[in-house]
Structure 1
């Protein structure tokens, strides 16, 4: 059962400690509070207090606590778009997507615990689902743009959209299994999911 009390002030409020001022530090404070006290019960004021910053400073980084969960999403999407654009045209569409998405999601060991917290929230918290739908749409748009260019079709044509929706579904399945299997390797999960998608869905007997 989630703690019903207000989260205590974080380390940044202790004497002699500077306030947290970087996006990454603020994310870690917020994610910790969400996991410890529950997403719905943690407010922007709680996060700001734990980080030792004012409410206005919080909103310089994020428009809402929902946005904090997703991190620097827009810049990350730009990085994925650039990575796909740099893929060799000699590589097939699905192979290019597999290579870039696995590389894009690769984590240093120190990042794994934080990313597991982030993705657990994104995939399981009902209050985040509507917000996540918008983020998923933006992610699919990057994949659809790449697929449309490779297929020489409009981005809103059926084939690029099927690719984008299918790739997202494979990635969500990989992440779900990664979270369920403690100690599993995310790179391997994504690689296997996208390889399976590239081969086609298995047929039952």
Structure 2
């Protein structure tokens, strides 16, 4: 997209968006470390007040989870549209892989985000609620397919094992990164789909 031509603005400046705040915060976290960056510092770098920051994010920790939470909503929409004749675990694999296709220019930010989440104790400690929501999205789809309650054993197992396989794929990709993330996810979820029996 071409850059906009310079214009003279009158009145109030354009409002900072959630995404702009997120990008600024991520750059600061990557450069200075998560613990060293305050909300005040993020807001100052964005040219907004701390109050504006808190309109978008309840804390600086939540900046790291914004995109992940959007993915959960996308998963739910995708599961709602799965054809009845598609096998359950094949659908889970297809949808999870599709939800994690990133543009090449977005990969550095994704790597930064993942390293922060895995390496900063405060972020790791707060991960549970976000992972639970992702797991529930998968488990509720499984429950609908199986005609059972989401709290029953098998839907819970489907949600939790899918999350575990996906996290393993992310960790392996972050460590090696020799092929796209989707390759790692597809391999891990195919293995889960067939019960880890060798091909």
TM-score normalised according to structure 1 size: 0.85
Alpha-carbon deviations, 1:93-148, whole Å to 9, x = none?
Answer: 11000000100111111211111111221222211122111100111111111010
Structure 1 segments unaligned to the other structure (5+ residues): 1-15
Structure 1 residues 110 and 190, CA, compared in 2 at 3 Å: closer, same or farther?
A: same
Conserved? CA contact 1:33–1:42, under 8 Å: yes
Separation of aligned partners in 2, 1:73 and 1:175: 13
Structure 2 segments unaligned to the other structure (5+ residues): 1-7
Separation of aligned partners in 2, 1:45 and 1:20: 17
1:21 aligns with 2:16: yes
RMSD: 1.8
1:39 aligns with 2:34: yes
Separation of aligned partners in 2, 1:186 and 1:53: 35
Paired position in structure 1 for 2:142: 147
1:192 aligns with 2:148: no
Conserved? CA contact 2:69–2:130, under 8 Å: no
TM-score normalised according to structure 2 size: 0.88
**Pick aligned residue for 1:170 from 155, 165, 169:** 165
Where does 1:49-68 land on structure 2 (aligned, <5 Å)? Answer: 49-68=44-63
Alpha-carbon deviations, 1:133-168, whole Å to 9, x = none?
Answer: 110011111111101001111100000000000000
Paired position in structure 1 for 2:152: 157
Paired position in structure 1 for 2:110: 115
Structure 1 residues 83 and 123, CA, compared in 2 at 3 Å: closer, same or farther?
A: same
Shift of 1:46: 1.1
Shift of 1:201: 2.8
Between the two proteins, the alignment pairs up a number of residues equal to 187
